[in-house]
Amino acid sequence: MADKAILYDATRCTACRGCQGLCKEWNENDEIIPKTENGVKSRNWGSYENPRELASSTWLKITFNEVEHYGKVDWLFNRRACMHCTDAVCVKVCPTGALYHDEKYGIVAYNKSLCSGCGYCADFCPFQVPQSNRNLITGKAVMDKCVLCTQPGLNRLDASYEPACVKTCPTGALTFGDRDALVADGKARVQKLKSQGFTNATFYGEKELGGLHVLYVLNDTADKYGLPVNPQYPATATAWKDVMQPLGWAVGGVTILGLAMNYIIARRAKAAQEATVNKETENVGKK
């Protein structure tokens, strides 16, 4: 089956954040209410963007970027959630297999019950997406992130529905479908933007990290939207998982084999020596 994807067209997004709300609703994630003495207390941090960051119960949010955009200050909205990379480093570093590639849709699926809470996925993700409700002292944690509405029991894709965020989008900024078709569609939209004078218009996600399963039509460069321009698969992950750990197995194996060999040889040598000493002692005794 062909890979699926979400196409986000930033030029059509009004930041209504219906996607943000329905994401929580469908996936049964609670809202985060700040716990202060006098109930809800909000603090102005200079933006209407809310909440400030993804959380274990916030898998999707719209970011508000105030940047210089073709000579004037503009407000650029962007969708922030799991990118569902083809070369997903989180899958590589997850020690329990909780994060894995879904063969059917090509996305990064997640078996939450296997999560140990180690947080390696969060350390290595080039987009800092995975979030956990970590207890600082005990370290007890469970990670969460967007699974493109494939949670067991709440699996919209298996039921042939589009993801909740796409379903609720009133402006057509979000579309869901076969990745190949969306890549073609998105590129055409970017071409059109360029012809309209948005010379920096960017199609993001086609090649990044082997191809993302969330594609972006942006009418400026990716960095203006708060995206890393050239996200890289961390070299530390390769050094750790493909070099260091196999080497560790070799070192451990050679050590144990070496000790076993030493035992066999040393025991025989000692026995031989003792036999000589005993015989010598006996002979001395006879004299």
Partner 1 sequence: MSVKNEERVEKYSRATRILHHIHTAAFILLFLTGLVLFVPQLGVLAQGSWTRIVHRIAALAFIIAPTLYTILKPRAAIAAVKEAFTWGKDDLGWLKAAPRYYFLSDEKDMPAQGHMNTGQKLWWFIVLGTGAVFILTGLIMWFLKTVAPGALLQWMVFLHDIAFIAAGAMLFVHVYLGVIHPMMTEAWSAISKGTVSKHYAQSHHGKWYEEQLHKAQKKDA
Residue 184 interacting with partner 1 (CB under 8 A) = no
d(CA 139, CA 199): 48
Residue 122 interacting with partner 1 (CB under 8 A) = yes
d(CA 178, CA 191): 20
Applying CB under 8 A, among 152, 172, 181, 263 the residue interacting with partner 1 is 263
Query: Locate tokens 């916030």: which residue?
Result: 58
d(CA 120, CA 136): 16
Tokens encoding 118: 């180690």
Residue 244 interacting with partner 1 (CB under 8 A) = yes
* Close Cβ partners of 268 (under 8 Å, ≥ 6 residues apart): none
Residue 142 interacting with partner 1 (CB under 8 A) = yes
Residue 192 interacting with partner 1 (CB under 8 A) = no
Query: Locate tokens 């699996």: which residue?
Result: 155
Applying CB under 8 A, among 12, 69, 101, 134 the residue interacting with partner 1 is 134
Applying CB under 8 A, among 95, 170, 210, 228 the residue interacting with partner 1 is 95
Residue 175: strand pairing partners: 7
In the bound state with partner 1, the residue whose beta carbon lies nearer, of 134 and 167, is 134
Applying CB under 8 A, among 90, 125, 182, 218 the residue interacting with partner 1 is 125
The maximal CA–CA distance of the chain, rounded, in angstroms, is 114
Cβ at position 197, least distance to partner 1 in Å: 37
Applying CB under 8 A, among 70, 239, 275, 278 the residue interacting with partner 1 is 239
Helix (H) or strand (E) holding 77: strand 72-80
Query: Locate tokens 């199609």: which residue?
Result: 203
Residue 110 interacting with partner 1 (CB under 8 A) = no
Pick the piece of the chain touching partner 1 (CB under 8 A) from 20-28, 161-169, 194-202, 256-264: 256-264
In the bound state with partner 1, the residue whose beta carbon lies nearer, of 171 and 245, is 245
Applying CB under 8 A, among 32, 184, 229, 256 the residue interacting with partner 1 is 256
In the bound state with partner 1, the residue whose beta carbon lies nearer, of 76 and 129, is 129
Q: In 114-141, which positions are buried (b, 16+ CB within 10 angstroms) versus exposed (e)?
A: ebebbbbbbebbbbebbbbebeeeeeeb
Using DSSP's 3-state secondary structure scheme, residue 214 falls into strand
Q: Which residues bind partner 1 (CB under 8 A)?
A: 95-98, 113-120, 122-125, 128, 134, 136-142, 234, 236-237, 239-240, 244-245, 247-248, 251-252, 255-256, 259, 262-263, 265-267, 269-270, 273
